[in-house]
Structure 1
Amino acid sequence: MTRLKIAVVGVGALGRHHARILSTLDSVELVGVAEKDVEMGRSIAEACGCAHVTDFHDLLEDVDAVTIAVPTSAHLAVAGDCLRAGLPVMVEKPIAGTLDDAARLVDLADRQDVVLQVGHVERFNPAVTAAFGQIDRPRYLRVERLSPFAFRSTDIGVVHDLMIHDLELVLALVDAPIQSVQAFGISLMGGHEDSVQARISFSNGCIADLTASRVHPEPRRVLTSWSASGCVHVDLHTRRLTSYRPSEALLSGPSPLELAAEPGANIDDLKQSVFGKFITVREPDISDSDALTDELQHFAECVTSGRRP
């Protein structure tokens, strides 16, 4: 089997994990890492058994594809040069700092006819995969993504840093055009916005409320969907999914309120039977697969097959 030769550009907080994982994939040969911080780059390269360069251009003629984990402000320049070299690219989210820059990269990938994948790793979270199989025509979505301040990704705000994950999930779940967006944000630590609350209204009537903050005492990542078929709650951090569906007893009647109105009705017993008799609660088993590994494997498979990510 011919192994796909890949280079990683940027081996900081996330890129080092790109290198670590790619060095373990049977279908991939990690040729090298490009990192301007010489000490960091050499350390990662030694651990992964590959070459280190300070200028990513020095690797482009020796590889079949590139993954990019540099600051967002450098995405256009780095990804652009890789695409112009005819190389498939996986670039960490956000694809770029502006819509114009994002459009340039997409157009460049189309003209070069090469794969361009954006690193929306949450899509490969096994809890998300399970949720997509459970959520049907949502009418209301509520998403929270909270994190302690990490003193990184300070070149962008919390929308590009954290909320972008949930924007991508919401747009994938709701099959309708956006009608309006309302949002409020504040900067707490200086610089870009650190906390944002947004409401998105869709043309089919669905509403999505999103909260993102990178100044929070502890991490929290949850998504809840309400629809005519019930409620699905997903803890993206602990990978726990709980679904609440109307039972056959509730659908066929009599309703709990009708039962409560009957002479001699035992309200305490009815309270105890809400979840179980009237509302079916299920917590399916969730895979323990690693989302970043699955994402990088998916990129390698798309490069090899030529299919769209």
Structure 2
Amino acid sequence: MKRITIAGTGAWGTALATHAARTGLGVSLLGRRPDLVERLRSTRLHPALPGAPPIPDGVDVSTDAEAAFAGADAILWCVSVQATGQELSRLKGTIPQGTPVVAASKGLELGTGRRTTEVIRQVLGRDSGIAVLSGPTFALEVARGLPAAAVVASIDEELSASIQALLSSPTMRLYRSPDVLGVEIAGASKNVVAIAAGLVDGLSLGQNTRAALLTRALAEIRRLGLKLGGAPETFSGLAGVGDLILTATGDLSRNRRVGLALASGKTLDEALASLGGEVAEGVPTASVLAQLAREHGVEMPIAEAVVAILSGRIPPLDAVTRLMTRGLKEEAR
């Protein structure tokens, strides 16, 4: 039997563990907090996945990293990007050098701007055996076994093909891509846009506004991605427009819920507290994304507006006015 280890006991890691077990894989779900691990082990239910089926009995939930990683055919890394550096540093002595690591968390690291695969590469000191899994996949729906599609990207085509074969099933269709950078930039950026979409919906600005926001946001993401070396087709694919549409319009989106909460008058701290301990990665990523764009001479006015709103420098409606009254230009620019 093939085996995988999933690092991170959040909603996404638990959903992937449930999916992998359903496909017939042996699964270890590795957590850091003994209290949460014991709760998952005893109840087989994750508090952030209401309505999901129990975690299959075949999933071994543990804090024992050495045992969890031993014999794994692949490691799915589901720890948030902001915690990845510290957690990888803690675990790197137990991660076999030849075992592929697949980044399944989206965002940009505060202070460094690193993507998850860049953190993995630098902390583990490896140039191969790294991939990324991304796309329009709400954790709850994956846990419930509803049909979904995503993309596996790696510069090593053999690796991406092996991960594709390992995790694909009748309810999860995976595609391959060589564009690791583009997939990660798209995945990080869409979380920032989802906050803006939540603000638009929460302020009842209408569906015209939402459509305009998503279209122009995609143009921003594509501009930055291409400038950094991403492939154009990535941004019209599952990791690009697919994930953007889902996260910006779906009620299960944590980042969208942050925008809705801010629109209702809650503070940022109150909005984050309402997520029940789950992470809205778009909040820390927003300032990093805007800084990255400035460093590369790429205009991202929507991302800049989200940063200004999150920092309290400007009310949401004023940000809308500023965006709508910017200098007129050609659409393709």
Output the TM-score relative to the length of structure 2: 0.40
Query: Is the strand fraction higher in 1 or 2?
Result: 1
Q: Which structure's residues are more often helix, by fraction?
A: 2
TM-score between the two structures when normalised by the length of structure 1:
0.42
Greater CA radius of gyration, 1 or 2?
1
